[in-house]
Amino acid sequence: MKPDGCFFDLDGTLCDTAPDIFGCWLAALKAAGLETERFRRDFRIGPPLEPMIAGLFPELTEPEREALIASFRELYCTSGFPGTVPYPGIPALLERLRRDGTRLFLATNKALRATRLIVEKQGWLPVFEQIHTPDSTPGPLCGKSERLRRALAETGLDPARCAMVGDTVPDIEAGRAAGMRTVAVTWGYGGAAELASAAPDRIWNAPPAEWT
């Protein structure tokens, strides 16, 4: 059954964003005089940024971490995203879903400014009905599952007739917690075995020609 609404993660699901993210992070760390070994070894794309950086650099004070993240975000948002590209088959998949009447949404842990810039560069602003990021609504930051619940409530969509598509276990867990069907994609930054252990409703090894 084709979904009425489909919520996509961005990094590792729609686009390979790793070259630009890693390049800008290394530049920010160099500017701050910080070593990069832990970052190169342990940094992961997908989880919320603040706790990730706190874990990688526990010696930094909170203001220092905030300044480091702000430096990265400015470098990233002004980079032009030269290395960020859609995965093969993604533009065609989005077009097919739109043509079939599926409402499309973006649900990512990336900040809104960078998300909108990337979506705009790809020509996808008209494609997605809404963009949901940790900072896309006023108030305290909330997790992806709560953002999905709010989006479902706002749109009136039945969660049982919607799908969350992502490349990491937290994407699958968030979709399931919101009552949605879940699709794990194996071409991104999550491990195939990890994704399978999360028991998604579907696993895609490549964007499908049709949603069956």
Average pLDDT over residues 3-9: 97
- Asked whether residue 118 falls in the same domain as residue 170, the answer is yes
> Which tens digits make up the pLDDT trace of 153-193?
999 999 999 999 999 999 999 999 999 999 999 999 999 99
Show the CA angle centred on residue 8, arms to residues 7 and 14, nearest 5°.
160
What is the pTM assigned to this prediction?
A: 0.93
Q: Are residues 48 and 107 in the same domain?
A: no
Report pLDDT for 149: 95
41 lies in the same domain as 89 = no
Residue 68 counted as domain residue: yes
Residue 188 lies in a domain: yes
List pLDDT tens digits, range 97-110.
999 999 999 999 99
Cα–Cα distance measured from residue 159 to residue 149, given in angstroms and rounded to the nearest whole number: 8
pLDDT in tens, 120-149: 999 999 999 999 999 887 766 678 999 999
Predicted local distance difference test score (pLDDT) of residue 138: 72
Range of the domain at 61: 18-77
Predicted pLDDT at 140: 66
Q: How far apart are CA 166 and CA 11, in angstroms?
A: 9
pLDDT of the residue at 48: 83
Identify the helix (H) or strand (E) that includes residue 162.
Answer: strand 162-166
For residues 89 and 186, membership in a common domain is answered with yes
pLDDT greater than 80 at residue 150: yes
Percent of the chain with pLDDT over 90: 90
State residue 143's pLDDT score. Answer: 84
Token output for 30: 């160099």
- Cα of 116 vs its chain's centroid, Å: 12
Which of 55, 77, 99 lies at the terminal end of a domain, its last residue? 77
Domain boundary among 77, 96, 120: 77
